């Protein structure tokens, strides 16, 4: 039996990169995946590809920075499915800039998506996940929450907050049969950071800090998410799983 057979899973930021890999992996394992992204066309492309591969998926335009949109989507999930078994808070943005020159607008934009978006989705999905009785929330933090570099202050701060939030929700939601865990990816080869990794000097420096001496692939993160979403992780909550090639263990 497939590991997510008949489970309803919602993945944010699933139009590309890690989110897309998670959505496709969940569908292959029998889940009905709600593919959400601020880019509605990208979400539709992913959902269509899943359906063409005999998976179950639907596309939804969602800006996690907009409370009204999050609430409306959860209302739709309730009407159509009646419950939610898996929530993956993957949507995120970055801002690489000198902290001394960062504007309030740039700072707030990253917080609105990375942390507040996670808060909104976890909060508004609560009743749906409580109905499941055996639900899993997976929040995407980052190795940058524990390992820092220049010009990444706001990103690191938001991801550190996501990790702390996840531990708190694990305690608060446990009584309702909802597990909450965190994934901390390292540098993953996606379009989002492709230009950054294409610089040979930067790539060499980062690989030197990565014991496995390679960058991650979206599928590496998706496989870890699948484990945490499945019943194989039924006794795991409040955990933070590094999927970073060992980068988080280096000085």
Catalytic residue among 155, 173, 176, 187: 155
Helix (H, G, I), strand (E, B) or coil at 36: strand
The torsion region of residue 213 among left (phi > 0), alpha (psi -120 to 50) and beta comes to: left
- Please, what is the Cα angle at 80 between 16 and 183, to 5 degrees? 35
Q: Show the tokens assigned to 99.
A: 């902290």
Q: Cα 179 to the chain's mean position, in Å? A: 15
Distances in whole angstroms, Cα of residue 188 to Cα of each of 184, 194, 217, 220: 11, 9, 5, 9
- Percent of the chain that is helix, strand, coil (3-state, to 5): 50, 15, 30
Residues in Cβ contact with 128 at an 8 Å cutoff, skipping those fewer than 6 apart: 74, 77, 78, 82, 83, 84
Give the whole-angstrom CA distance, residue 44 versus residue 64: 17
Q: Show the tokens assigned to 168.
A: 């708190």
Give the whole-angstrom CA distance, residue 14 versus residue 46: 8
176 annotated active-site: no
The secondary structure of residue 248, as a DSSP letter, is: G
Residues in Cβ contact with 209 at an 8 Å cutoff, skipping those fewer than 6 apart: 147, 247, 250
Instruction: Give the residue numbers marked as catalytic.
Output: 155
């Amino acid at each position: 039996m497939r590991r997510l057979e008949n489970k309803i899973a919602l993945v944010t930021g699933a139009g590309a990169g890690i989110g897309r890999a998670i959505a496709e992996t969940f569908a292959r394992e029998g889940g009905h995946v709600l593919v959400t992204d601020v880019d509605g066309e990208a979400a539709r492309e992913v959902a269509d590809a899943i359906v063409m591969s005999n998976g179950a998926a639907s596309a939804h335009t969602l800006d996690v920075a907009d409370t009204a949109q999050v609430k409306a989507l959860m209302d739709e999930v309730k009407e159509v499915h009646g419950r939610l078994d898996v929530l993956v808070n993957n949507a995120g943005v970055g801002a690489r800039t000198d902290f001394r020159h960062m504007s309030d607008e740039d700072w707030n934009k990253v917080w609105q998506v990375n942390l507040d978006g996670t808060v909104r989705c976890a909060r508004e999905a609560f009743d749906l996940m409580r109905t499941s009785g055996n639900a899993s929330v997976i929040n995407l933090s980052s190795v940058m929450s524990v390992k820092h570099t220049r010009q990444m202050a706001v990103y690191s701060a938001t991801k550190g907050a996501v990790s702390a939030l996840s531990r708190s929700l694990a305690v608060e939601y446990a009584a309702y049969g909802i597990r909450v865990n965190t994934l901390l990816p390292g540098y993953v080869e996606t379009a989002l950071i492709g230009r950054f990794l294409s610089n040979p000097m930067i790539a060499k420096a980062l690989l030197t800090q990565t014991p496995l001496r390679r960058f991650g692939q979206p599928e590496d993160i998706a496989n870890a998410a699948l484990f945490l979403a499945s019943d194989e992780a039924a006794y795991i909550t409040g955990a933070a799983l590094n999927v970073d090639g060992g980068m988080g263990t280096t000085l």
